[in-house]
Amino acid sequence: MILEATMPSALEDEFNPRLSAEARFDSAAARLGLDDGMRKVLRTPSREIIVHIPVVLDDGRLEVFTGYRVQHSIARGPAKGGIRYAPDVTLDEVRALASWMTWKCAVVNIPFGGGKGGVICDPSLLSEFELERITRRYTAEIFEFIGPEIDVPAPDMNTNEQTMAWIMDTYSMHARQTQAAVVTGKPIALGGSRGRAEATGRGCMIVTDQALRKLGLERRETRVVIQGFGNVGGMAARLMSRAGYRIVCIVEWDAAVYNAKGLDIAALMKHRRDTGSIQGFEGGEEIDRNDALFLETDVLIPAAKENVITSHNADRLRCKILCEGANGPCTQFADPILADKGIFVIPDILANAGGVTVSYFEWVQDRQGYFWSEQMVNDRLEEIMVNSFQDVVAYSEKHGVNNRLAAYMLSLDRVAQAIRLRGIYA
Ligand code: NAD
């Protein structure tokens, strides 16, 4: 057993993203033998911004919203990471997510640090105009802390390419010039990148391909269960089924659809578009969604949300490869159980890094003013994902640790090296 973890005293501890981020950081830092000073630097966010933003609502009432932007590290380049809108956003959550971005960018070796932002609001209760006003005022408040060379936000939970277009416009109005590279995940018409929408799902497929090779499996014989049929899971399902994988089960929040011969993913997508759900799809049978994750399968891709695989259910998994499409789908207390079961885990900071990699390509294209073909984007994505997978596996074999710990050690080492080379400015 490689990752040491004690059982959680309470379920909230197991589900707390900050504790989870710190536990993995601590294991990797200990294994690397990082000194106390470097641990303090790497553990502490470099900058935390809190803004309270007054916004006039559609009915004329004045409301004040709280927003955060945390820049965990800028040692390897500008901070990079999404902005989420949700009623339960906390500073602790944003801190944890910002540190994950630092490790994710380092593991795929792109020249970014890590950041994350959030605004406490409930988008389901806000009109499009209200969301636009919140976004613009939030952008104006953090104006001097973001920028193409400083901190480059992107979409996250409940934000999208329209939100990015508003941020880009507001920033550009203040800068008195159009600055497309201030955000990524923009509409293509405003400097977004071809291939960005599929990038995370495509990245999941590329690293799963690599894991198959490693375990001597063939795409055609490989059964796949995917939880979440959204941007990551839906794209992964579509691309993998086209590539010959057998997608035997899709699990959504309201249903799970199973077909041992493989689901027709294009038809399931059409069914969901037409009816709003995967329920009632004739090309498969509905099974209990609570059991679906524990089906016998070759590959399991949890691509919906965090904290799905825990100390309470990890021993029920029956997959050979676990490819973490979502951020944090396995808690730190599940890690040792997965290791004991011999499951080949492709950790989130590697598995879902295709999205931030193509965000990096978008930033490069915007700064060059020269836009690449979709083929060029996909080829370069493949090169980075394959190299990163091989780096992690080689690191894991060299140091005798599991893939997650290897990915963390590799990225901590890269960030620590940048800090040592730059030195501490006094
Ligand atoms: P999304 O909203 O497009 O899709 C999520 C899907 O999961 C939806 O279809 C939703 O109905 C489903 N879902 C929600 N709760 C569920 C449950 N309990 N059981 C089964 N299905 C459920 O979101 P997304 O962009 O695909 O992101 C999914 C995960 O991947 C998140 O953890 C996100 O942080 C992570 N991620 C996304 C990207 C990206 O580029 N979109 C990049 C890296 C990581």
Residue 116 known to be catalytic: yes
pLDDT exceeds 60 at position 2: no
Q: Is residue 426 part of a domain?
A: no
pLDDT exceeds 50 at position 46: yes
Q: Are 76 and 171 part of one and the same domain?
A: yes
User: Which ligand 1 atom is the nearest neighbour of the CA of 328?
Assistant: 32
pLDDT exceeds 90 at position 426: no
Mutate to test the pocket of ligand 1, among 225, 253, 350 (most ligand atoms within 8 A of CB): 253
| Cβ pair 69, 142 in contact under 8 A | yes
pLDDT exceeds 60 at position 100: yes
- From the candidates 116, 186, 261, 270, which is the catalytic residue? 116
| Number of domains, the chain | 2
Domain that holds residue 219: 199-351
Mutate to test the pocket of ligand 1, among 193, 305, 323, 348 (most ligand atoms within 8 A of CB): 305
Q: CATH number of the domain that 104 lies in?
A: 3.40.50.10860
Question: In terms of DSSP H, where are the helices of 33-116?
Answer: 36-43, 91-107
241-268 mean pLDDT: 98
Burial class (CB in 10 A: 0-12, 13-18, 19+), 424: exposed
Instruction: Give the count of beta carbons closer than 10 Å to the beta carbon of residue 279.
Output: 14
Tell me how far the alpha carbon of residue 39 lies from the centroid of ligand 1, in angstroms. 32
Could you report the per-residue pLDDT of 147-164, keeping only the tens digit for each? 999 999 999 999 999 999
Mutate to test the pocket of ligand 1, among 196, 198, 252, 272 (most ligand atoms within 8 A of CB): 252
Residue 174 pLDDT level (bands cut at 50, 70, 90): very high
List strands edge to edge, sheet with 114-120: 47-56, 62-73, 114-120, 79-86, 151-155
Tell me how far the alpha carbon of residue 23 lies from the centroid of ligand 1, in angstroms. 24
| Cβ pair 121, 134 in contact under 8 A | yes
Could you report the per-residue pLDDT of 342-387, keeping only the tens digit for each? 999 999 999 999 999 999 999 999 999 999 999 999 999 999 999 9
Tell me how far the alpha carbon of residue 421 lies from the centroid of ligand 1, in angstroms. 38
Q: What's the pLDDT at 276?
A: 96
3-state secondary structure of 286: strand
Q: CATH number of the domain that 258 lies in?
A: 3.40.50.720
pLDDT exceeds 90 at position 17: no
Mean pLDDT of the chain: 95
Q: Is residue 395 part of a domain?
A: no
**212, 220, 229, 240, 303 from 243: Cα distances, Å:** 13, 9, 18, 5, 19
Q: What's the pLDDT at 4?
A: 42
| Cβ pair 287, 310 in contact under 8 A | no
CA 165 to chain CA centroid, Å, is 21
Q: How far apart are CA 349 and CA 337, in angstroms?
A: 19
- Picking from 131, 153, 183, the residue at the C-terminal end of a domain is 183
| Cβ pair 310, 334 in contact under 8 A | yes
Per DSSP, what are the bridge partners of residue 296? 318
**Ligand 1: residue whose CA is nearest its atom 35:** 326
Q: Is residue 256 part of a domain?
A: yes
Q: Are 74 and 128 part of one and the same domain?
A: yes
Tell me how far the alpha carbon of residue 86 lies from the centroid of ligand 1, in angstroms. 14
